[in-house]
Amino acid sequence: MGIGATLVVDRAGLQGILDALIARGYELLGPTVRDGAIVYDPIKHIEELPRGWTDRQAAGTYRIEPRTDEALFGYAVGPHSWKRFLHPPIERLWQMRRQGDSLSVEQRTEVKRFAFLGVRACELHAIAIQDKVFLGGPYRDVAYEARREDNFIVAVNCGTAGGTCFCVSMQTGPKADCGFDLALTELLRGPHEFLVEVGSARGAEALAGIRSRAADPADLEAAAAALAHTRASIGRALETNGIRELLQNNPEHPRWDQIAERCLGCANCTMVCPTCFCTTVDDHTDLAGQVAVRERKWDSCFTLDFSYLHGGSVRKQTRSRYRQWMTHKLANWIEQFGTSGCVGCGRCITWCPVGIDITEEAAAIRAEAGQPAGRARGGT
Amino acid sequence: MSAAATPDPFVPRLYRVIRSTREARDTVTLEIAPLAGQAPRFQPGQFNMLYAFGVGEIAISMSGDAEDRGRFIHTVRTVGAVSGAITSLDANGVLGLRGPFGMPWPMDEAQGRDVVIVAGGLGLAPLRPAIYHLLGHRERYRRVILLIGMRNPGEILYRRQVEQWRQNLDVEVEVTVDRADATWHGNVGVVPALVGRMPFDPASTLAMVCGPEIMMRFTASALHDAGIALEQIYVSMERNMKCAIGLCGHCQFGSQFICKDGPVMRMDRIARAFGTREI
Amino acid sequence: MAGLEKILLQHPFFRGLEAQLGSLIAGCCSNVRFESGGYLLREGASADRFFLIREGTVALEIIAAGRSPGTFLTLGPGEIVGISWLTPPYRWMFDARAASAVHALAVDAVCLRTKCESDHDLGYELMKRCSSLLVRRLHATRLQLLDLYAGPAE
């Protein structure tokens, strides 16, 4: 079976794919309902998927609610992103033992092989973006590299637009077009089936022995129609034309002060964002002072400590920290890594307790910037 | 202990303190060498992450001669828990080290040109390797001017060495202090003010500046006023640093990572960030 | 006089000055030398002359009983010693001591003030240059006050 080949499986076939991945030693992670949200957890069976659930999202709002059908993937994205597995919230970097006058270092050893079920198009882009961050620089994150080495990805094409997402204007969806081993589109018009597109040799191999039928034109049309429907129901857009110059040239824009009146500096946005990668390092010892451990933990540029430099923080005001996050995400990232840092998943809008909307803020800055990109007002 | 296929840049190598010299009440210079093997090569302007067992890591610039393969030299000021632990290490004390990291001083670009080095306070430490290089390869450069600003005559870092450098007939050394005392018969005043008095050809001069950010800002301004283009002025920047390898996001300054796009940075590339508050 | 005028116009303080104004000022100028240790001006004295340094170093200091003189600034070739000649009460507020042999142009302040009163173009030109110098000196003094090289504990 070549790359791009399509076939159709039913629910039993889908379970067969899950079983095949587990049999190959992958730790399988997929969507499931827990604590009133659709999160990514270890799963084994399709019964654990959020069958018949959807999410209702708006700025500062997230609820799950029942659907009128039995869709397994009828939701958008929740508070989890795949970065929590590839770039874990807490990770031990090494352990050092003091023996008399000398020290010996023990490095991290365990390597996990993950299989992800239900990766959205925007999330595929987010993973690719983090690949650039962790693997594209002069120093590679060795553990991230090991986790991505054999990382099986089953993508899912969105049949529903989320309440806050904007992949179309970010050119990150809704169609999953690369970076996956298999891509599913859920078909509900007749029997409950899934159109499967092969994305890699590894993906093709996983389908061996799975009962399936060839995809016919009606299946392909239905899949295309679902994507078209999703595309048409995306409710937001972020104008990316000239956004780099716009934000870099306007560090003193009054809008930053206006945002700061609302922003709590709670760091939710950075926690849920699938591309935010900032971490801090935590060194500690045991009580006897013989064993020292270094851990790496997620951090956020919204904390006052983040920019601490003997005597005080560089970014003292909330205004400066919000400006840093948004300018990095939409502008500086382009210079650093060649693409935008935003994939339009909408999580930062949904999970912001005060409902700050990055698309709205970008539009507001653009509207009041006045001068065309490149001629900063007031001089920089 | 596992043998990683590629060396993990997060893991420190162990170094032993050969000698510790007190420079000032709160400042110490450490000479260190690896427990095993040879110290890696470094270029003037680069830095290491020095690790105190169980306490933490700090970024400290190299301060020794890059051609001395036997050891690294670091001048450290006590400002917190980690620097306090590192400065209290005696000879034979062990510390961890990751590095060298960062972009170096533009020694190659400076060849054939007038070179002005402006150091303020502890900023002389990251510049010392550049000075060693200039003096060790004097024929590659035209005029060499060292401007050094210190707090007061009693706190002149590397004082005996500065006096030795001054004895070179082909190097101009001017030292100034912010505040004089009765023993001082030299310049009094801030170091940017010395810039205007120096005879260099601005069109061909390359300047390297290091010290507190305020001092660098006004020195760069004075150099620019004297006719030196921003493309020819280099500063050494500092920000909160955790990983030193471009993966943790802390050291960003505008769109530059100070750990991998710096710490030595060309003024024209950072002029905008340099002039923006709280960036 | 032509020689002095040329020296004057070459001095950084008077860079870009119109030749006509230059010759007016030169009329108040003379060449002077000080041995190391000599005083160009003293605190409390009438601000009758100010100086354009051509060679040497001048230390500005303030004396107090029982203390060594506090030198707060040194100046070199191309710089000006004395600005208080321009504003009342026309009195010096510090000492200026030659820290080496000093060669300077002395400018008769009484002479120059008289010329400025009758020629306001000349007066404005001097005001502009002196205020610019004052701003630079004030800024440098503020940097000294900030004690930039001090450690966090100090």
- CA A134 – CA A161 distance, rounded (Å): 30
Write the pLDDT tens digit of every residue in C45-104. 999 999 999 999 999 999 877 777 789 999 999 999 999 999 999 999 999 999 999 999
Predicted pLDDT at A379: 34
Q: Which CATH architecture has domain C2-146?
A: Sandwich (2.60)
Identify the closest residue of chain A to B239 by CA–CA distance.
A309
Residues 121-160 of A with CB under 8 A from B: 133-134, 137-142
pLDDT at B5 over 60: no
Substitution target in A243, A281, A316, A334 with the highest count of B β-carbons within 10 Å is: A281
Residues A176 and A211 in one domain: yes
Of A129, A133, A125, A152, residue with least CA distance to A18 = A152
B219: closest CA of chain A, how far (Å): 19
Which structural domain, as residue segments, surrounds residue A305? Answer: 243-275+301-369
User: Where do runs of H (alpha helix) occur along B25-168?
Assistant: 81-87, 124-136, 159-167
- CA C138 – CA C143 distance, rounded (Å): 9
Residues A211 and A351 in one domain: no
**Structural class in CATH, domain B114-274:** alpha beta
Do residue C12 and residue B196 have CB atoms under 8 angstroms apart? yes
Identify the closest residue of chain A to B96 by CA–CA distance.
A103
Predicted pLDDT at A161: 95
CA distances from C140 to A150, A187, B117, B177 (A): 61, 74, 20, 12
Of the CATH numbers 2.70.70.10, 3.40.1160.10, 2.40.30.10, 2.60.40.1930, which one belongs to the domain with range B13-101?
Answer: 2.40.30.10
Listed by start position, the domains of chain C span: 2-146
Q: Which helix (H) or strand (E) holds A66?
A: strand A61-66
CA atoms within 13 A on the CB side of B82: 19
Listed by start position, the domains of chain B span: 13-101, 114-274
- CA A121 – CA A125 distance, rounded (Å): 7
Residues in a beta bridge with B234: B208, B266
Tally of domains within chain A: 2
CB A286 within 8 A of CB A227: no
ipTM: 0.93
Query: What are the chain A neighbours of B245 within 8 Å (beta carbons)?
Result: 137-139
Residues A177 and A130 in one domain: yes
For the entire predicted model, the pTM comes to 0.92
CB A304 within 8 A of CB A313: yes
Whether B28 and chain C come into contact, CB under 8 Å, resolves to: no
Whether B278 and chain A come into contact, CB under 8 Å, resolves to: yes
Residues A217 and A320 in one domain: no
Residue A161 counted as domain residue: yes
Print pLDDT tens along chain A (380 aa): 899 999 999 999 999 999 999 999 999 999 999 999 999 999 999 999 999 999 999 999 999 999 999 999 999 999 999 999 999 999 999 998 988 767 788 877 778 899 999 999 999 999 999 999 999 999 999 899 999 999 999 999 999 899 999 999 999 999 999 999 999 999 998 899 999 999 999 999 999 999 999 999 999 999 999 999 999 999 999 999 999 999 999 999 999 999 999 999 999 999 999 999 999 999 989 888 889 999 999 999 999 999 999 889 999 999 999 999 999 999 999 999 999 999 999 999 999 999 999 999 999 999 987 544 443 433 33
Residues A258 and A333 in one domain: yes
C131: closest CA of chain B, how far (Å): 17
Chains that touch C (3 or more CB pairs under 8 A): B
C151: closest CA of chain B, how far (Å): 7
Residues A84 and A117 in one domain: yes
